[in-house]
Amino acid sequence: MIKILTVSSANMDFVMDTPTVPEGGETIICHGSYKYVPGGKGANSAVAVARLGGKSVFCASVGRDANGDALLELYNNEKIDTRFIYRSNDCPTGLAAIMVEPSGQNRIIVYPGANAKITKEAIDAAVAERPDALFMQLETSVETVIYAANAASEAGIPIVIDAGPADPQFPLEKLPEIEIFSPNESETEIFTGVKPCDKASCEKAIEILSKRVKAKHYCIKLGDKGCYVDGVIVPPIKTKAVDTTAAGDTFTAALTLEYLKDGDIIRAAKFACAAASIVVSRAGASSSIPYRPEVEALISKQ
């Protein structure tokens, strides 16, 4: 079984259905629902790895509070290895406020909280478990991402980075050589100044990215247009969007898991597109992530 170590964020999500996004100073009355659901980009990806058939190891940090207790219970139920999750005494569990519009488009504000407390000791111990790959996003501190990447590189472990959320000040140049670097449309534009919308613009963006971070593969997530990787636009599987939360996290986790099987990045991208299409058809974050038989059944219908 392929083992993927995720070093990233764990949040509780406060999700609210809203008819539109308020302007500055505007108050909107929402008649839809609101709920608290487990989330965090790292946690979503760790859950995706487990549900899609991988051995999922999660290195993160949560508070010693009710939200932290709830998240750990979920991870254990998903059979995720939680030995490397730190419990912070002085920071609450991370919280994400998510507004979901009728189109399924979302707006997210993240309070990092305990996510800033991932320890070097926990990273070293998790890397020593010799995972088949290290998976990260940019939702933890710069120091955590750089340290974990270098630790994995020194151990000869492939590194995959889902480049969200994008900070234009993030020092991509300090990253060691990685296997897959995967931003979405807005993240690509933030890092390169190029909005990817077709093959030509994707190629231009990757040319700029390659001067900042060296990767074997660059995979740009294009939302409802699929993804671009290695000169190919892989089309999505069309579905009615309900909520796009966790779609990108699931996509890159699925991409990583499938790529590690045989190194076929195009086949892996097709599988990842199918997994993400299921996620957007459902409400919620980790609750929307499919199990492997669901993805395989969808692919078989195409």
Give pLDDT tens digits for 59-108.
Answer: 999 999 999 999 999 999 999 999 999 999 999 999 989 898 888 888 88
Q: What angle do CA 182, 62, 14 make, to 5 degrees?
A: 75
Looking at residue 186, its pLDDT comes to: 96
Q: In 3D, which of 151, 93, 141, 94 has the Cα closest to residue 121? A: 151
Query: So where are the chain's domains?
Result: 3-21+30-291
Looking at residue 231, its pLDDT comes to: 95
> How confident is the model over 132-153, as a mean pLDDT?
97
Q: Residue 228: pLDDT band by 50, 70, 90 thresholds? A: very high
The residue written with tokens 């809203």 in the block is 18
Known active-site residue 162: no
Percent of the chain scoring above 70 in pLDDT: 100
Looking at residue 221, its pLDDT comes to: 98
Q: Residue 286: pLDDT band by 50, 70, 90 thresholds? A: confident
Looking at residue 30, its pLDDT comes to: 83
Looking at residue 203, its pLDDT comes to: 98
Looking at residue 76, its pLDDT comes to: 97
Catalytic residue among 17, 230, 249, 264: 249
DSSP 282: S
Distances from the Cα of 45 to the Cα of 152, 173, 198, 199, 200, angstroms? 18, 24, 27, 27, 30
Looking at residue 247, its pLDDT comes to: 95
Q: Residue 33: pLDDT band by 50, 70, 90 thresholds? A: confident
Looking at residue 269, its pLDDT comes to: 98
Give pLDDT tens digits for 253-265.
Answer: 999 999 999 999 9
**Coil, helix or strand at residue 235:** coil
Q: Residue 22: pLDDT band by 50, 70, 90 thresholds? A: confident
Average pLDDT, the chain: 95
Fold of 3-21+30-291: UDP-N-acetylmuramoyl-L-alanine:D-glutamate ligase (3.40.1190)
Q: Residue 222: pLDDT band by 50, 70, 90 thresholds? A: very high
Looking at residue 285, its pLDDT comes to: 80
Lowest average pLDDT, out of 10-24, 49-63, 221-235, 264-278, goes to 10-24
Cα separation, 3 vs 119, whole angstroms: 21
Cα separation, 143 vs 132, whole angstroms: 22
Which DSSP string corresponds to 150-199?
Answer: HHHHHTT--EEEE--S--TT--GGGS--EEEEE-BHHHHHHHHS----SH
Looking at residue 232, its pLDDT comes to: 97
| Order of strands, sheet of 55-63, starting from the edge strand that comes earlier in the sequence | 81-88, 55-63, 3-7, 133-136, 159-162, 178-182, 215-221, 227-229, 232-234
Give pLDDT tens digits for 2-14.
Answer: 999 999 999 998 9
Looking at residue 103, its pLDDT comes to: 85
| Order of strands, sheet of 94-100, starting from the edge strand that comes earlier in the sequence | 34-39, 11-17, 94-100, 106-111
Looking at residue 106, its pLDDT comes to: 82
Looking at residue 104, its pLDDT comes to: 80
Cα separation, 93 vs 38, whole angstroms: 11
Looking at residue 107, its pLDDT comes to: 87
